[in-house]
Structure formats: structure tokens, C-alpha cells
Chain A
Amino acid sequence: METTQAGMGLGAYTRLYLKLISSRIRSQMQYRLSFLLDTAGSFMGNFTDLAALLVMFTQVKALGGWSLGEIAFLYGLSSVSFAVHELFQGAFDNDVFALYIQRGLFDQMLIRPLPVPFQMLTEYFLLRRFGRMAQGMLAFVLGMVLAQPHWTAAKLIYLPVVAAGGALFFLAISIAGCTLCFWTVQSTEMVNIFTYGGTTMLQYPLTIYQEWMQKFFVYVLPMAFINYFPSLFFLDRPDPFHLPPFVPFIAPLVCVGVFLLALRVWQFGVEHYTSTGS
């Protein structure tokens, strides 16, 4: 397999990627009404989450010491990262991938002359995922307007880097979740704890949760680096964990590290994969 790819450079992969993705987009545009409803549904689905937050703030002025604006900022950052991940994850989705294993579609991928992760990423590109993105952006804008963070050039440059890092982290979780399917064959709802559960958890300041949960998400599965620690920097908030002051700035490194680790786990899974035979 390796030899057949030798001729393809980065440029060729990029062109192929764009070509495949644009064909996925065109096919979704065939059912225009369905697409519009789906996107609206996805937007509403996540908007109701935001609405729930707004409803809660009709009762109080702050949650865990954070104002509505600050939480909206935190919330928007997590949602946007998650939405970017959802948009680009392709078949790296526990439910989808379980079907690939069950129906032998994954076996077909193994014999095609393209790297398997590349094929996985280009299997789907669901435009309706823009619904979540829009909702995340809305929360984010709300956060900006209400919290009025003090913007500097450094912060403005760092913001998209953090969002991209967060997306990589979520992608890493999805990849690791799919790897489980090599053994379970069925999809497992447990992965939802870290994907949907993760993004839901990150929408609120980490300190409202019990201590073992905080420690777990700072030191074991360091999801706090997706939005929480960078937000301390963006919003000029003190760090309740009293970690070294450089911590908000290593967030992208942590995310890339987790992503590389997930790819290794995936590779391990592929090497130990035995087909279901269907």
C-alpha cells in the first residue's frame, strides 16, 4: 500500500480532498429543502441549549462566579471547536463507523490505494453541521458583547489557533471512539460521554464540577485545554488551579499531542483488525 502512495505529494492530496469534498457538498444540494430543514434543525438543536443557558440566567447573575457573557464566551469557543470537528470528521463517527465495520465497507477501504484516515475524512462532509457552528458563533458574539474582553493583537491571533486546537482534540476523541469499534463491532454510546458530554461540560466553568471531575479533565483527559484555560487568558481571569502562568498558551500543543496519540491508537486498532467477514 505504501508504494502506491509514494507518487502523491501534499498538493495532490489537497486537490483530491477538495474534489471529494465538493462532490459530497453537491450531492447534499440535490435535496435542497431537506438540507435547509436539516441545517435549521441543527441550529435549533444547539440553539435550545443556549436558550436553556439564557433561561437559567433569568434566575441568577452569575454561575460559579462567571457572568453570562463570560460563560457565553466559554460556551461559544467549545461549540465552535466541536462544530468544526463535526464538519471535518467524515466517517470518524462512532455510529457511522460501526456500520462500516458491520457491512464490510471498512474492508473495502483497506484495499484502496489511499491512506485509510484520508479516506475516512473524505467519506462525509455534512453541511447541516453549519447549524451548530452558527449557534456557537452566536453564543460567542453574545459573549463578546456582554463580557467585553480586553482585546489585544496577541489575543486576536491566538483565538483561531485555540479554536482549531479544540477541533483537533474533539477529532482525536472521535478517532479513539471509532477505534473501539474494531473490538466492539457495535457503536457504543459511551463515546458520547466524551464527545457530546465533553462539549456540554466545557460550556460551563470547570470549577462548578466535583473535584475528581476537574482533576480528570485537567490531568487525565485534558479537555480543559480546549477552551477553559485559554479563556482564562482571553477574559483575564485568575487561574483557580494555580498552574504556571504559561498554561493557557500550551493549549494548542496539548491538543496536537492528544491528536497524535489518538492516531497512534487508531493505527494500533487497524493493525489488529480482523474483519467480521460480512
Chain B
Amino acid sequence: MRLYLELAKKAAQRQLAYRQANLAGLMTNLFFGALRAYVLIALYGARPQSGGYTLTAAITYTGLTQAILRAVQIFGWQDLMKTVRTGDIVSDLAKPFDYYLFWLAQDLGADVIRLFVRGVPIMLAYSMITPLVWPSDVGAALAFVISLLLAMLVSFAWRFCVNIVALWTTDALGFARLAYTVGMFFSGFLVPVTFFPAWLKTVANWTWFPSIIEMPVEIWLGILSGPAALNALIQQAVWLTVLVVIGRLMLAAGTRKLVIQGG
């Protein structure tokens, strides 16, 4: 456990080192947040209540999604895949630790830092410009924190599966880009899943993608509260379990193949 904490800390420090990049990224996130907020303001100008969101909730949604997008890495991640191409994966697999936890620790370490250097400033900036919806009580805030942590874990487990495909094909990068894009849409990052037409909502809710964005955001907004919030947390936990099992099975199958080839 100490070892994984150390890995997480190292990844966090690496992430902190890029000050200029973090600042530039922050500005970009804010700009996109503003764009999306104005589109929604125009939308509410034509219709004051959409999908159970008030205008303030919709604006908070744009801020919150911009704030957590780096922490849940909604644009994807290819680091593991790259080690397959360079061959570094062979030495990583040979190291005396659990390969899955090795990546998870580093991923979480960097994610937590991103949450603080990218997420917190965005919410602060938003709160100075416009009224926002905040978690209504300690219970809701706590549920949000748990949900966000689960979102980061589900996202990792999903990205691990996508990356590990590289053990079978050299065309994994194209597959990954496609997969992340589809995931981004169904996560509710571009438009809340609540706004989807019924049939599309059904499709989205049969995937793990809303676990990555929609659920933590709606818990924050209070749209999911009480039993509904608990239900969302359970769904996230179930998806996490399923994706971890799939990822580990893929890893086991992939490494067996690697060994047979004498890699």
C-alpha cells in the first residue's frame, strides 16, 4: 500500500510541476465554460425550465463539468497504450507490484491534483461572476465527494480497458479516440443526459458513462437527492466493479498472450 501511495504522490508532483500549463488550461476551461453557459442562457431565454434544471442549475452545470473534466479525464488518456508501443510495458509487468494498481495509483494521484488546480479555481471564478447552486447540506456534499471519487475510478477502469486493447492490435489509438468520444457524449458532458429525448436517455442509462459526469453533477445540484442519490452511488459502484473485472480479465488474457510470444 505504501508503494502505491508513493506512486500516487509522484504522479501528483509531476502534475503540479506544470504551472504555466495548468494556468493556461484553467483559462481555456473557463472560456469554454462561459461559452456553454451563454448557450444555455439563450436556451432558457426561450424556455425557463428544461429537464428539471433551473437556469442557475444549468449555469452551475457548465461550471462544474468544466471543473471536473480533467479529474475524470473526459478527453481520454493513452499513456498505458504508449508503453505497449515503446515496449516499456514488458518491464512494467515484470516489476514486483500489481500492474493494475500501479496505473490506478498514478492516475488517481494526478486526478486529485487536477481537481484542486483546475477544479477549485473554476468554481471560485464562477462563484464570483454568477449565482450558483451549492450542495444543500453536509449529507449532499458528502454524497458528491463519494460520487466524484467513484466517477474518477469508473473513468479509470474504463480507460484501462480501452488502453489494454493495444495488446491485441496496433490500431488501438483510433479505437480509443472513437471510444472516448462516444463516452463523452453519453456521460452528459456536452448536454445533460436529462435533456436527451427518452430513447436516447434509455441508451445512455444502460452504459457506465453517466457515472462519470452526470451523476456527481446532479448530486451536487440536488437533482438527485436522498434515495435517488444513494441509488446513483450504488450504480456507480456496480459499474466500477464490472469494469474492473473486465479490465483485469483483459489484462490477464493479454499478458498470457505476451508470454506465449516470448515477450
In the complex, whether A186 has a CB less than 8 A from a CB of chain B is yes
Q: Is the CB of A36 within 8 A of B46?
A: no
Q: Which residue in A37, A128, A186 is a CB contact (below 8 Å) of B20?
A: A186
Q: Given A48-B185, A55-B196, A186-B20, A208–B41 Cβ distance below 8 Å?
A: yes
List the B side residues contacting A188 at CB < 8 Å.
20-21, 24
B81 vs chain A, min Cβ distance (A): 12
Chain A interface extent, by class: 35 or more
Q: Which residue in B28, B32, B174, B200 is a CB contact (below 8 Å) of A190?
A: B28
Chain B: residues with Cβ within 8 Å of the partner, total of: 39
Q: Is the CB of B31 within 8 A of A197?
A: yes
In the complex, whether A204 has a CB less than 8 A from a CB of chain B is yes
Q: Is the CB of B174 within 8 A of A52?
A: no
Q: Which residue in B24, B35, B174, B185 is a CB contact (below 8 Å) of A51?
A: B185
In the complex, whether A5 has a CB less than 8 A from a CB of chain B is no
Most chain B beta-carbon neighbours within 10 Å: one of A37, A184, A192:
A37
Q: Given A60-B43, A61-B46, A36–B27 Cβ distance below 8 Å?
A: no
Q: Is the CB of B200 within 8 A of A204?
A: no
Q: Is the CB of A55 within 8 A of B197?
A: yes
Residues B28-68 near A (CB distance < 8 A): 28, 31-32, 34-35, 38-39, 41-43, 45-47, 50-51
Q: Given A34-B171, A38-B173, A44-B181, A186–B39 Cβ distance below 8 Å?
A: no
List the A side residues contacting B195 at CB < 8 Å.
55-56, 58-59
Q: Which residue in A36, A38, A55 is a CB contact (below 8 Å) of B191?
A: A55
List the B side residues contacting A55 at CB < 8 Å.
191, 195-197, 200
B63 vs chain A, min Cβ distance (A): 16
What's the Cα separation between A177 and B191 when bound, in Å? 29
B156 vs chain A, min Cβ distance (A): 21
In the complex, whether A146 has a CB less than 8 A from a CB of chain B is no
List the A side residues contacting B51 at CB < 8 Å.
59
List the B side residues contacting A239 at CB < 8 Å.
none
What's the Cα separation between A45 and B190 when bound, in Å? 11
List the A side residues contacting B178 at CB < 8 Å.
37, 40-41, 44
Q: Which residue in B42, B50, B171 is a CB contact (below 8 Å) of A64?
A: B42
In the complex, whether A63 has a CB less than 8 A from a CB of chain B is yes
Residues A199-213 near B (CB distance < 8 A): 200-201, 204, 208-210, 213
List the B side residues contacting A61 at CB < 8 Å.
46
List the B side residues contacting A37 at CB < 8 Å.
171, 174-175, 177-178
Q: Given A31-B171, A56-B195, A38–B177 Cβ distance below 8 Å?
A: yes
In the complex, whether B184 has a CB less than 8 A from a CB of chain A is yes
Q: Is the CB of B177 within 8 A of A48?
A: no
What's the Cα separation between A210 and B39 when bound, in Å? 11
Q: Which residue in B35, B39, B184, B200 is a CB contact (below 8 Å) of A197?
A: B35
Residues A48-80 near B (CB distance < 8 A): 48-49, 51-52, 55-56, 58-64
List the B side residues contacting A209 at CB < 8 Å.
35, 38
Q: Given A55-B196, A60-B43, A210–B174 Cβ distance below 8 Å?
A: no
Which residue of A has the minimal Cβ distance to B23? Answer: A190
List the A side residues contacting B32 at CB < 8 Å.
197, 200
B142-156 CB contact bits vs A (8 Å, 1 = yes)?
A: 000000000000000
Q: Is the CB of A31 within 8 A of B46?
A: no
Q: Given A44-B181, A189-B25, A63–B39 Cβ distance below 8 Å?
A: yes
Q: Given A36-B174, A193-B27, A197-B28, A58–B42 Cβ distance below 8 Å?
A: no
Q: Is the CB of A52 within 8 A of B185?
A: yes
In the complex, whether B253 has a CB less than 8 A from a CB of chain A is no
In the complex, whether A33 has a CB less than 8 A from a CB of chain B is yes
In the complex, whether A42 has a CB less than 8 A from a CB of chain B is yes
What's the Cα separation between A131 and B25 when bound, in Å? 26
List the B side residues contacting A190 at CB < 8 Å.
24, 27-28
What's the Cα separation between A213 and B31 when bound, in Å? 11
Which residue of B has the minimal Cβ distance to A209? Answer: B38
A6-37 CB contact bits vs B (8 Å, 1 = yes)?
A: 00000000000000000000000001011111
In the complex, whether B170 has a CB less than 8 A from a CB of chain A is yes
Q: Is the CB of B46 within 8 A of A63?
A: yes
Q: Is the CB of A48 within 8 A of B42?
A: no
What's the Cα separation between A138 and B38 when bound, in Å? 24
Residues B131-186 near A (CB distance < 8 A): 169-171, 173-175, 177-178, 181-182, 184-185
What's the Cα separation between A36 and B173 when bound, in Å? 11
Not counting A34-B171, A64-B45, A189-B21, a sample of 12 additional A-B residue pairs whose C-beta atoms are within 8 angstroms of each other reads A34-B174, A37-B171, A40-B174, A56-B43, A188-B21, A188-B24, A189-B27, A197-B32, A197-B35, A208-B38, A208-B41, A213-B38
Shortest Cβ-Cβ A-B pairs, 8 listed: A37-B174, A41-B177, A41-B178, A48-B185, A34-B171, A52-B190, A208-B42, A38-B174
